[in-house]
Amino acid sequence: MRRGLSKILITGGAGFIGSEFVRLLVSLREAVSAGNFPWQSLVVIDKLTYAGDLSRLKKAANKIKFYRVDICDKKRIDGIFAKEKPDAVVNFAAETHVDRSIRDARIFLETNIIGTSVLLDTALKYKTERFLHISTDEVYGEIKKGEFTEDSPFKPSSPYAASKAAADLLVKSYIRTYGVPAIIIRPCNNYGPWQYPEKLIPLSVLKVLKGQKIPVYADGRNVREWLFVGDCARGILHILNKGSIGQVYNLGSGQERPNIEAVKLLLKILGAQERMIQFVRDRPGHDARYKLDSRKVRRQTGWRPKTDFREGMRDTVGWCVKNKKWLLSKWQNIAGLYRK
Ligand SMILES: NC(=O)c1ccc[n+]([C@@H]2O[C@H](COP(=O)([O-])OP(=O)(O)OC[C@H]3O[C@@H](n4cnc5c(N)ncnc54)[C@H](O)[C@@H]3O)[C@@H](O)[C@H]2O)c1
């Protein structure tokens, strides 16, 4: 850990990627000898929406301080900064499901934009030394050929992507106008253990476990760049340690696969048949392909993704089967999300 950044505040730390990041930091702390901790205290804040779940942090529970709070709540966020005085903030908190944003965008605008502005204002007031903002590849929209660099223009397609693009621009404006020491990270599509089963991979496993068909949009040929969540968390840590203030970093794996290929692979791992797939009406505004040029993060921080897609999928599907009770406990929240 970079010297001086010993108190870290993580927003959205009970979510899929945020909790992976928390578990990574805790495991690193356990791996180094006492008195030699790279960080001294970890504060996690999360509203615990339908997508947040403290069971993801069970193994880290006695190593962190947790506050249940909405990042839009300026007064409470101020109180937490005043008390905890974090050196660094890593902002994962967001509403994240594209299909929900198409149904109703309001909470996406509140959390993703207003919430980010509250955190920025508070970090400015308390002179936080580092502000890492987790944006997304979706801010660029789709790209049929080639790759997006960090300078590619924004062309978000969904209300989710538009709200993330607004937050990303807001962070940029605070860097330029107020000199907030922020860094923006734009990861590609994550998959891995603990992902909420509204997202393609765990949703597909859950459907098979329920004996139901897997809904795949259109012909399934939309291409995503798949990043194993453990690699994403390590990438974020690399950027926290070695990234330059004011910079933007794409965080991609280079492993492109059409959705249908990912689903067929997981069916094979599960020993299930391809007739479990049901093609459904396409998502409005569905991006055909995302692909990031991630040379900058590799060059400047030395980060490399370690997990091959097939290996990551085996781990993920294996985890889902082992944790089927957890997946099934989310069923009520996702039933009805995908129509024929
Ligand atoms: N999952 C991906 O593939 C992916 C890819 C690129 C970028 N991202 C970005 O990474 C971040 C984390 O994504 P994720 O997949 O872990 O999401 P997630 O939906 O699993 O977790 C989001 C977390 O934020 C919390 N949260 C929501 N609203 C909040 C609020 N108002 N105040 C405090 N906490 C709140 C939720 O309770 C949840 O724990 C998001 O910013 C997302 O846009 C995700």
The CATH number linked to 136 is 3.40.50.720
One-letter amino acid of 44: V
**According to DSSP H, which parts of the chain are helical?**
16-31, 74-84, 98-103, 106-108, 116-125, 159-178, 200-209, 229-242, 259-270, 295-301, 309-322, 324-328, 331-334
Total domains in the fold of the chain: 1
pLDDT band at 336 (very low <50, low <70, confident <90, very high): confident
For the question of residue 138 being annotated catalytic, the response is yes
Q: Is 111 part of any domain?
A: yes
How many Å lie between the centroid of ligand 1 and the Cα of residue 271? Answer: 31
How many Å lie between the centroid of ligand 1 and the Cα of residue 223? Answer: 22
With a cut of 80, say whether residue 340 has pLDDT above it.
no
Q: Is 203 part of any domain?
A: no
pLDDT band at 155 (very low <50, low <70, confident <90, very high): very high
Q: Is 277 part of any domain?
A: no
More confident residue, 195 or 41: 195
With a cut of 90, say whether residue 35 has pLDDT above it.
no
Lowest mean pLDDT among 2-6, 50-54, 257-261: 2-6
Output the pLDDT for position 32: 66
pLDDT digits (tens, 9 = 90+) for 197-227: 999 999 999 999 999 999 999 999 999 999 9
Asked whether the beta carbons of 186 and 249 are under 8 A apart, the reply is yes
Structural domain for 118, as ranges? 7-192+227-251
Does residue 13 line the site of ligand 1, with CB under 6 A?
A: no
Q: Report the mean per-residue pLDDT for the chain.
A: 95
Mean pLDDT of 225-242: 97
Minimal-distance CA residue to ligand 1 atom 32: 70
Output the pLDDT for position 39: 73
Q: Is 339 part of any domain?
A: no
Q: How many CA atoms lie within 13 A of 195 on its CB side?
A: 28
Q: Is 215 part of any domain?
A: no
Q: Is 108 part of any domain?
A: yes
pLDDT band at 40 (very low <50, low <70, confident <90, very high): confident
More confident residue, 53 or 29: 53
Output the pLDDT for position 37: 56
For the question of residue 160 being annotated catalytic, the response is yes
With a cut of 70, say whether residue 57 has pLDDT above it.
yes
Does residue 108 line the site of ligand 1, with CB under 6 A?
A: no
Asked whether the beta carbons of 277 and 216 are under 8 A apart, the reply is yes
Share of the chain above pLDDT 70, in %: 96
